[in-house]
């Protein structure tokens, strides 16, 4: 038996022997997609955020066994092939990152927020954006989200 899902729109079939593996490990070590980062491993920091059926999700807490039929998108699959996602464009315009480590997760969280709520207010952003940035880029993250929402 295998567990089948899509990863950045490509069909993936994984042996049930890997059912216990956290998705983050699979993404980085098996699929070789290194944009999604390991931070805490306990669902706190958000560095590992991906989209699970469109929802921002901590991939360190999501086991492969729960992925049958799921659509998983990582930072590598967020943009169309030729154009960046509007959130990525806004991130570049505002020059959000400092060290950059958490930023893929931040972008995935912001993209999911704007998908559900195209014009979030400050309170919506505070509620949805729970990812931690050790450099404290929160002001620029907020600015970029508003820019992407315009
Ligand atoms: Fe998953 Fe920190 S590594 S939340």
Q: What is the CATH number of domain 86-149?
A: 1.10.150.120
Q: Report which of 58, 72, 73, 56 is spatially closest to residue 117, judged by C-alpha positions.
A: 56
Report whether residue 30 contacts ligand 1, using a CB cutoff of 6 Å.
no
Q: Does any ligand 1 atom lie closer than 6 A to the CB of residue 60?
A: yes
CATH superfamily, domain at 2-78: Beta-grasp domain (3.10.20.30)
User: Would you state the structure tokens that stand for residue 106, as one six-digit string?
Assistant: 């931040």
Question: What would the pLDDT profile of 69-88 be if each residue is shown by its tens digit?
Answer: 999 999 999 998 889 999 99
CATH 1.10.150.120 domain range(s) in the chain: 86-149
Characterize the bridge pairing of strands 2-7 and 71-73. parallel
Q: Which atom of ligand 1 is nearest to the CA of 40?
A: 2
Question: CA–CA separation, 140 vs 40, rounded Å?
Answer: 23
pLDDT tens-place string over residues 29-68: 999 999 999 999 999 999 999 999 999 999 999 999 999 9
Q: Where in the chain is the domain with CATH 3.10.20.30?
A: 2-78
Give nearest CA residue, ligand 1 atom 4. 43
Please state, in angstroms and rounded to a whole number, the distance separating the CA atoms of residues 91 and 121: 18
Entry pTM = 0.97
Q: Cβ(40) to ligand 1 under 6 A?
A: yes
């Amino acid at each position: 038996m295998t567990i089948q899902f899509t990863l950045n729109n490509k069909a993936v079939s994984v042996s049930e022997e890997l059912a216990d593996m956290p998705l983050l490990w699979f993404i980085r070590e098996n699929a070789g997609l290194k944009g999604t980062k390991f931070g805490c491993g306990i669902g706190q920091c958000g560095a590992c955020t991906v989209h699970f059926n469109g929802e921002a999700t901590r991939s360190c807490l999501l086991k492969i066994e729960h992925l049958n039929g799921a659509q998983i998108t990582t930072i590598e699959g967020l943009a169309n092939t030729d154009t960046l996602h509007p959130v990525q464009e806004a991130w570049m315009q505002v020059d959000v990152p400092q060290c950059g480590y958490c930023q893929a997760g931040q972008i995935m969280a912001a993209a999911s927020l704007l998908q559900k709520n195209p014009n979030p207010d400050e309170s919506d952003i505070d509620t949805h954006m729970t990812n931690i940035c050790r450099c404290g880029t929160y002001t620029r993250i907020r600015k970029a989200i508003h820019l992407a929402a315009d």
